[in-house]
Amino acid sequence: MNYPEPSIQVQVDISNPGQFFACCGLLELADRLWPGSEGYFNQQTFNINNTGNLAELIKTVVNTTISQIDPEDETASPIYFGKPFKLRLDWWKDEITGGTRLKVWAGSMRSFRIARAMQQAMEKIKDVERLFDYSSVVTDPGQPRKKVEPFYFDSRRGSNSRAIDIGFAPDSLSMSTLAYPAVEFFCLVGLQRCRPFANGSRRIFEYVVWNQPTSIMTAPAAVCNSFSNPNAAIYRFENAFRTDQRKHKAFQPATFIGV
C-alpha cells in the first residue's frame, strides 16, 4: 500500500528488539512535539508522518532537561523529561503489567546516569537517518573521563555480552566497549508505553512489526497484534542473563516466528 512521503525515515533492523522499541520511543517523542504523528514499519525503515524533521527532533531531545525524580534512588529512580515533552518514565517499577521483567540493569548501574549519558552522546550524530547505527564509547557528561556502559537494550551488545558465548566476562575485566546511544535512549522511552508480550516464559517475549500508519495511542495494541493484521511479522526474543550473578540482563537478537 502506498502512503504519503514520510516526514521522518530511520533505517532499522526489526530483528533487534532494542531498535524496534527505540522506534516506539521516537514516535512517542515525535507525537509530543508534533501531535498527530503516525508511525509504521516498511521493510528496513521506520517512518513517521505529520511531523517536522528528524534533525530537529534529535536536537530537541538532546537539549531537553531530564531529571531524577527520587534523589535517594540512583539505581532505579523514575525519570522526568521537561518541556516540551513532559514525560515520566517509570516502567521498570511496574509489577502489574510486567515492566519489571524487562529491566536489564542492576547492581551498581545507575539508570539516570546512563540515560543522561546516552542523551548527550546523541549530540554527535551526523547521519540522522542511520542514528541507530551510530556507536561510541559513552562518557559521563559531568565527568568526561569516566565511561558509562549502556542499559543493554541493543541486541548487538546483548549477543556479545555473555561470558559463555565469548569466553570471558567483560564486566569482570572492567572493559568499556562501543554503545549505541540512540537505541539505548529511545528504547528506554519506548518501553514506557509499548511493551512486548510474554509467551509463557518469564524472560521470553514477542512483538509485532506493524505496517500501517499508527498513532502512539494505538501503537501498544499494534505491538501486541490486537489489530489482527494478517501481514504483520511476529518476532520473539529473550531478555537473558549476561553475568554469572544472574542479575544483569541484555536483550538478545529476535527470531522471526511468522505472521
What mean pLDDT comes out for the span 197-216? Answer: 91
DSSP annotation of 213 reads: -
Q: 3-43 pLDDT, tens per residue?
A: 888 999 999 999 999 999 999 999 999 999 999 999 999 98
pLDDT for position 164: 46
Q: 90-122 pLDDT, tens per residue?
A: 999 998 888 899 999 987 889 999 999 999 999
**In this structure, what C-alpha cell is assigned to residue 80?**
522526568
pLDDT for position 132: 98
**In this structure, what C-alpha cell is assigned to residue 45?**
525503515
pLDDT for position 107: 78
Residue 18 bridge partners (DSSP): none
Closest CA to 57 of 129, 151, 110: 129
What is d(CA 138, CA 148) in angstroms, rounded to the nearest whole number? Answer: 5
pLDDT for position 163: 47
Q: 69-83 pLDDT, tens per residue?
A: 999 999 999 999 999
Which residue type sits at 17?
Answer: P
What mean pLDDT comes out for the span 150-168? Answer: 70
Q: 165-198 pLDDT, tens per residue?
A: 444 455 454 555 799 999 999 999 999 999 999 8
pLDDT for position 161: 52
| pTM value surpassing 0.85 | yes
Taking 80 as the threshold, does the pLDDT of residue 245 lie above it? no
Question: What's the chain's average pLDDT?
Answer: 90
pLDDT for position 168: 43
In a 3-state reduction of DSSP, which class is residue 136?
strand
What mean pLDDT comes out for the span 124-137? Answer: 95
Q: 44-66 pLDDT, tens per residue?
A: 999 999 889 999 999 999 999 99
More confident residue, 161 or 125: 125
Q: Using only C-alpha atoms, what is the Rg of the chain?
A: 17
pLDDT for position 166: 43
